[in-house]
Chain A
Amino acid sequence: MMSKDDLSNPVILDALKELANIGTGHAVTALSSMIGKFVGITVPEVYLESLGKVATILGDPGEEVSAVYVGYRGELDGGAMVIFDSSSTHGLLQALMGADMDLSDPMALSMLQEIGNILVGSFVSALATFFGNTILAEPPGVAVDMLGAVLNVLLAEVGQHADYLIIAKTTIAIEDVNIRGWIVDIPTPESFKRIIEKLGL
């Protein structure tokens, strides 16, 4: 089991930040061309946090959000998720479909899955390219539910052998239509540490 000390190394956190930067850059380029609007991103923020506190980095675990998850496996294992709060989800559907939709509508859900998959899929494929195609993305999952509940999917995957996780969070925003979301990437700490050592960092 990875301890906090194993991970509290600035090199690990900087490397994760750099990786998230590359991934998010690809992701927003894809989104921008899909919706024909400028998509802004912030510099990724990285955290070293106990499993129990990961949800609070993103907000209230009871808040309703939409989320798309893509797990990845290979030389690096982990998962990435794009999350939009409720009003941004409606804004996104409006921007894409020209009309707002009920989030319980299967059509809305499949639309969200498409957008999310483009975002998170390009994020993960950027990671794969960076590591010489040694990472494979799994099929995406989508849900509209409480923040804590959707995060369970990601945390159950990466929390098996770690009490503390390294998390990269990047905020994406489409300002003129008031849409904000986050791309969250959490590699399993053990695979991330292994790959950093292999790269000789």
Chain B
Amino acid sequence: MNDMLNVGIGEIAVLDKPGKIGAIGLGSCVAVAMFDPVAKVGGMVHVLLPDSRGQKTELPGKFADTGIPELLRLMEEKGARRDRIIVKIAGGASLMNVNVGNFGDIGKRNVEAVREQLSALNLRLQGEDIGGNEGRTFILDLAAGTFSVKTTRGGLHQI
């Protein structure tokens, strides 16, 4: 994974040449991957929380409501077209059964917020590996056009 562009929490990355983009160790976080197979442009955002509630942030990728529109904007800037973009998501697990910041199940809330954003932007969700109680690593391979998920116990599979 040394050649992989790493997307940390709150970060957004877009690539317009063959390569891999990945988010390692997603717990309650949700990573949203977008890929335009014609323009060969791919990107990912690593969302920590559902809603910015209007706060200004240097890391728009941190929230679903700011991160997803920003990822789409960067994708389009590199030549991707919305009607061709394939969207897949991974993460949103519940790892410790603790009530984080009165959010309840933060992983579930993140997934709901991501879905709302995608539908508001007319982006169709074509694959997902979400929920449960296991951490995940999510990798978009632009050259192969694949979206893969890895867990500690369950190994590697494509979504």
Contact = CB atoms under 8 A, between A and B. Distances in A.
A104 B152 CA distance: 11
Given A1-B55, A141-B95, A159-B9, A149 B48 contact: no
A75 interface: no
B136 A149 contact: yes
Contacts, number: 125
Interface string B1-35: 10000011111000000000000111111000000
Contacts of A31: none
Given A3-B58, A159-B49, A160-B49, A153 B9 contact: no
Contact of B46 (A52, A62, A147): A52
A157 B27 CA distance: 13
Interface in B55-69: 55-59, 62
Given A141-B96, A159-B48, A52 B59 contact: yes
A84 to B, nearest CB: 15
Contacts of A141: 95-98
B55 A61 contact: no
Interface centre among B7, B10, B56 (most CB of A within 10 A): B10
B101 A150 contact: no
A194 interface: no
Given A64-B152, A146-B27, A147-B25, 12 more contacts: A1-B57, A1-B58, A3-B58, A51-B10, A51-B62, A52-B59, A55-B24, A62-B1, A145-B95, A151-B25, A152-B26, A156-B28
Interface of A: 1, 3, 50-56, 60-62, 64, 69, 71, 104, 138-143, 145-153, 155-157, 159-161, 163
Minimum-distance CB pairs A-B, first 4? A148-B25, A149-B135, A141-B96, A52-B8
